[in-house]
Structure 1
């Protein structure tokens, strides 16, 4: 599958919401409680939520299939909201997801490279992210991308708290 990446704007909020919900469900179905997944996606991945992120200065990249333009992945950079000591120039990679059929095609690394370039272009020097502590596949991906564990946090999905790792990488 081939794709194209573009900087997402307010007109892309519905596409971001669609791929956000689909990828979160795909990543955590059978791992997290279904009602918690639905509550989390409803609260954090609606078109209105993405409109608010973008209006607040977030930087989003949308990946779309070359054939037909369906959304297949995305990344979202925001001001840091993590329980570690902030450093000047920090930015958080709040989300980076790609649909499962694209795994192994290079889309994940392409989204990461774009996020790093966007963060660097905006004057940031360190990229932070949180990842579910039980998601070893994602942790391996981040470690291959040069990230190292910088802390931990408790993260609420629906009504259930989970233990996450916080990763950091100089950019």
Structure 2
């Protein structure tokens, strides 16, 4: 695991689309998943996030061959809650399913928290799909609590999300 740079944008785009598809296939429509990934998992987006000093991007790779298997993105908050200058949003945190149970998820979270502390932030915010109970259980184990809700568009469909927060 390491802090990503703009040079990692293509690999991050690939793992972002793969993990989104793995996570939501069967829960969301296939056309909506494809449209969402095409619009939101571009190398350009990851380049912007990696170059923004107000956030941090972490990439997780397997040792043998350095294939990307997970990532996390911290950004300036863009959620419908009262966010202050001491807040940061965990915009993304995903691992490929082959890494589930390996400890990579908690390690990515720990790294994201470390980055947030180094950025001088006091609270991490995040949004998660309301029907993604596995992710919600993970966030609760990590000390997050529900503070709100939002509508989140994937493709052409709006879904109910839950907004979590954790003081750090």
TM-score normalised by L of structure 1: 0.96
How many corresponding residue pairs?
167
- Contact 1:43 / 1:49 at 8 angstroms: preserved in 2? no
Task: Name the CA distance, whole Å, in 2 between partners of 1:91 and 1:132.
Answer: 19
Instruction: Indicate the residue corresponding to 1:84 in structure 2.
Output: 81
Runs of 4 or more, structure 1, over 4 Å off, are: none
Question: In the alignment, what sits opposite 1:138?
Answer: 135
Residue of structure 1 equivalent to 2:115? 118
**Aligned with 1:21 (options 17, 22, 27):** 17
Q: Match for 1:32 among 16, 25, 28?
A: 28
Deviation of residue 45 (structure 1)?
Answer: 0.3
Local SS of the residue matching 1:96: strand
- Cα RMSD of the aligned pairs, angstroms, is 0.8
Question: Which residue is equivalent to 2:64?
Answer: 67
Counterparts of 1:48 and 1:88, CA distance in 2: 26
The partner residue of 1:56 within 47, 52, 55 is 52
The answer to whether the 8 Å contact 1:133/1:165 transfers is: yes
Find the partner of 1:105 among 98, 102, 106. 102
Secondary structure at the residue paired with 1:163? strand
Instruction: Flag structure 2 segments of 5+ consecutive residues without an equivalent.
Output: none
- Residue 113 of structure 1: SS of its match in structure 2? helix
CA–CA separation in structure 1 for the residues paired with 2:65 and 2:47: 24
